[in-house]
C-alpha cells in the first residue's frame, strides 16, 4: 500500500550560491573532460573543439527542464523527490531501484585518477598499483562524506577553485602555443571522418557526430545540484541561477582545453595515449606540468567523486525514508551522513576497480542508465505546470506552456539519441545485460509499490504553498 504524505517545508539550509556553484562545477567536471578529449580528437580531428561546443549546447537542452522545475519547487531529495511529487508513486518506485545502478559510476573517477597518476609516475602504472590508488581515493572521499554535507561542501569548494584555475591555465598557455590550423575548416585534418558517424564492427568509432555524442556525457552533471534543495539557503532562487552559470563556465573551460589539446599535438603524436599528459608536457615547464596534473585532471576526478557520494546518498536516502528501500539502509550518523548508503556505494564502486574494468565500459554503462532515468523524468516534467500553476506563473523563468513542453520533448529526444549511442558503443551482449538489469530493477519497484508499506513524503515545496502539506 502506498500512502502519500505532504511534507511541510523545513527551515532553510546553509548552502549559498558559491557553495552550490562549486558543487555544480565539481559534479560536472570530472572523468569526461579529462579522458574524452584525446579519443574525440582521434574520432574527428581538429574539429574536436567544435564538437565539444555543440555537446555543451546539446547537454544543456537535455537538462533544461530542470532549470524551470528548480525555479518552481525546492526539492528535498533531487530527482526522486521530483518523481514522487510530479510523476506519481509507480514511477518513483521504479526509479528508487533503478537508481542503485548509479553507484557503479563511483569507480569511474577512482579508475581515471589512478590512470593519470600511472602515466606520470611509472611506479604507479602497474595494474596492482592502479587498483590500490583507485581504492585509496574511493576510501578517502568515503570518509570525507561520512563527516556530513557541510564538511563535504567545504572540501568541494576548495577543490573546484583549484580545478578551474588549472584548466584555465592549460587553455590560455596552450592557446598561445597552438601550431596547427585548428580553425581552418578546409584543412583535411579538421574533419577526418566527416560530419556524421563512422562504424567499425557495428559500433560507433568516429565522425564529428560520434565525437559530439561522446562528449555529451561530460556536459550534464551540474543538474544534480537540485538535490541540495533541503540544504540551500534559497533553493528556488539560487539553484536555477547556478545551473545557468554552469553553461558559459563549461564553454570557456571545455572548449578552451579542447582547443589547446588539439592545437599542440597531431593525432599521430598522441599515439596510443588517451590522456592530456603528452599535451601538458608540450605546453608547460616541468614544475607547471606537475602542478597542472594535480590541480587539473586529478582535482577534476576527485571533486566529482566527492560530490557523487553526496548526491547519490541524498537521492537513495529519500527513497529509504519513504519505505521503498529498508529504512535502516538510510540510517544517518551524528553528522547527518547516510552511513549504510555511503558504504553500499563504496563497496559497489570498488568492484569495477578490483576487476580492472576500463573507463570506456563504465562510461557507456552510466550513459545507458542515465538515459533510462530521463524517460521517467519526462513524465514529471510535463506534469509540472498543471500541479503547480501558481508557482509556475510566478517563476522568474516562466515560459508559455507550449514552449516549455517543446523544450521537454527536445530533452527527451536528446536522451533517446544518447541511449541509442550507448547501446552501439558497447558489445551487444553487455548492452543486453544492462538493459535487462534496468528493466528488472524497474519491475521490482512496481511490485514493491503493490506489496510494501510505502509512505511517500513529497518533499517538494513551492513558494506559493501548493502541495506543501500546509
**Segments of the chain with pLDDT less than 50:** 469-470
State residue 149's pLDDT score.
Answer: 66
- Between the two ends of the chain, the Cα-to-Cα distance in Å is 24
The pLDDT value recorded for residue 237 is 93
Distance CA 367, CA 373 (A): 10
Q: What is d(CA 432, CA 447) in angstroms, rounded to the nearest whole number?
A: 22
At residue 450, the pLDDT reads 81
Tell me how far the alpha carbon of residue 145 is from its chain's centroid. Answer: 18
233-248: pLDDT as tens digits: 999 999 999 999 999 9
Q: Rounded CA gap, 266 and 18, in Å?
A: 38
> Which residue ranges make up each domain of the chain?
2-462
**Cα-to-chain-centroid distance, residue 31:** 10
For residue 310, what pLDDT is reported?
Answer: 80
What is the model's pLDDT at position 30? 66
Q: What's the pLDDT score for residue 470?
A: 45
Q: Which superfamily is assigned to 2-462 in CATH?
A: Amino acid/polyamine transporter I (1.20.1740.10)
Q: What are residue 88's phi and psi, to 5 degrees?
A: 105, 165
Measured distance CA(244)–CA(234) in Å, rounded: 16
Show the 3-state SS of the chain: CEEEECCCCCCCCCECHHHHHHHHHHHHCCHHHHHHHHHHHHHHHHHHHHHHHHHHHHHHHHHHHHHHHHHHEEECCHHHHHHHHHHCHHHHHHHHHHHHHHHHHHHHHHHHHHHHHHHHCHHHCCHHHHHHHHHHHHHHHHHHHHCCHHHHHHHHHHHHHHHHHHHHHHHHHHHHCCCCCCCCCCCCCCCCCCCCCEEECCEEEECHHHHHHHHHHHHCHHHHHHHHCCCECCHHHHHHHHHHHHHHHHHHHHHHHHHHHHHHCCHHHHCCCCCCHHHHHHHCCHHHHHHHHHHHHHHHHHHHHHHHHHHHHHHHHHHHHHCCCCHHHHCECCCCCEHHHHHHHHHHHHHHHHCCCCHHHHHHHHHHHHHHHHHHHHHHHHHHHHHCHHHHHHCCCCCCHHHHHHHHHHHHHHHHHHHHHHHCCCCHHHHHHHHHHHHHHHHHHHHHHHHCCEEEECCEEECCCCCCCC
Cβ–Cβ < 8 Å for 20, 311? no
Amino acid at each position: 500500500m502506498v500512502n502519500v504524505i505532504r511534507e511541510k517545508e523545513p527551515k532553510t539550509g546553509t548552502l549559498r550560491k558559491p557553495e552550490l556553484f562549486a558543487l555544480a562545477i565539481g559534479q560536472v567536471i570530472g572523468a569526461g573532460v579529462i579522458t574524452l578529449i584525446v579519443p574525440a580528437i582521434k574520432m574527428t580531428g581538429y574539429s574536436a573543439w567544435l564538437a565539444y561546443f555543440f555537446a555543451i549546447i546539446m547537454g544543456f537542452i537535455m537538462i533544461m527542464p530542470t532549470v524551470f522545475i528548480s525555479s518552481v519547487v525546492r526539492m528535498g531529495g533531487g530527482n526522486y523527490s521530483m518523481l514522487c511529487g510530479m510523476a506519481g508513486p509507480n514511477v518513483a518506485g521504479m526509479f528508487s531501484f533503478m537508481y542503485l545502478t548509479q553507484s557503479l559510476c563511483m569507480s569511474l573517477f577512482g579508475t581515471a585518477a589512478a590512470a593519470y597518476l600511472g602515466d606520470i609516475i611509472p611506479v604507479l602504472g602497474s595494474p596492482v598499483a592502479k587498483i590500490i590508488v583507485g581504492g585509496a581515493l574511493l576510501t578517502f572521499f568515503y570518509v570525507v562524506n561520512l563527516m556530513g554535507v557541510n564538511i563535504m561542501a567545504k572540501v568541494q569548494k576548495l577543490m573546484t577553485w583549484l580545478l578551474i584555475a588549472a584548466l584555465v591555465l592549460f587553455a590560455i598557455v596552450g592557446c598561445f602555443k597552438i601550431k596547427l590550423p585548428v580553425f581552418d575548416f578546409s584543412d583535411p585534418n579538421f574533419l577526418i571522418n566527416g560530419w556524421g558517424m563512422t562504424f567499425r564492427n557495428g559500433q560507433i568509432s568516429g565522425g564529428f557526430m560520434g565525437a559530439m555524442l561522446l562528449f555529451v556525457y561530460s556536459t550534464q552533471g551540474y543538474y544534480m545540484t537540485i538535490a541540495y534543495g533541503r540544504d540551500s539557503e534559497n533553493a528556488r532562487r539560487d539553484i536555477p541561477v547556478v545551473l545557468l552559470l554552469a553553461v558559459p563556465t563549461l564553454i570557456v573551460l571545455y572548449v578552451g582545453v579542447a582547443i589547446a589539446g588539439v592545437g599542440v599535438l597531431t593525432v599521430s603524436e598522441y599515439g596510443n595515449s588517451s590522456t592530456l599528459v603528452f599535451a601538458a608536457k608540450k605546453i608547460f615547464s616541468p614544475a607547471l606540468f606537475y602542478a597542472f596534473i594535480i590541480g587539473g585532471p586529478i582535482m577534476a576526478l576527485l571533486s566529482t567523486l566527492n560530490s557523487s557520494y553526496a548526491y547519490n546518498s541524498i537521492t537513495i536516502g529519500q527513497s529509504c525514508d519513504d519505505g521503498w528501500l529498508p529504512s535502516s539502509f538510510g540510517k544517518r550518523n551524528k553528522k547527518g551522513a547516510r552511513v549504510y548508503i555511503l558504504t553500499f556505494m563504496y563497496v559497489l564502486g570498488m568492484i569495477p576497480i578490483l576487476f580492472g574494468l576500463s573507463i570506456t565500459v563504465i562510461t557507456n554503462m552510466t550513459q545507458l542508465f542515465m538515459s533510462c532515468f530521463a524517460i521517467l523524468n519526462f513524465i514529471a516534467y510535463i506534469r509540472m505546470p498543471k500541479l503547480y500553476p501558481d508557482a509556475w506563473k510566478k517563476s522568474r523563468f516562466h515560459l508559455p506552456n507550449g514552449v516549455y513542453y517543446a523544450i521537454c520533448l527536445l530533452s527527451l529526444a536528446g536522451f533517446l539519441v544518447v541511449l541509442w549511442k550507448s547501446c552501439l558503443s558497447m558489445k551487444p551482449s553487455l548492452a543486453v545485460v544492462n538493459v535487462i538489469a534496468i528493466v528488472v530493477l524497474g519491475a521490482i519497484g512496481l511490485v514493491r509499490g503493490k506489496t510494501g508499506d510505502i509512505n511517500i513524503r513529497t518533499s517538494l515545496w513551492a513558494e506559493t504553498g501548493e502541495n506543501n502539506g500546509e
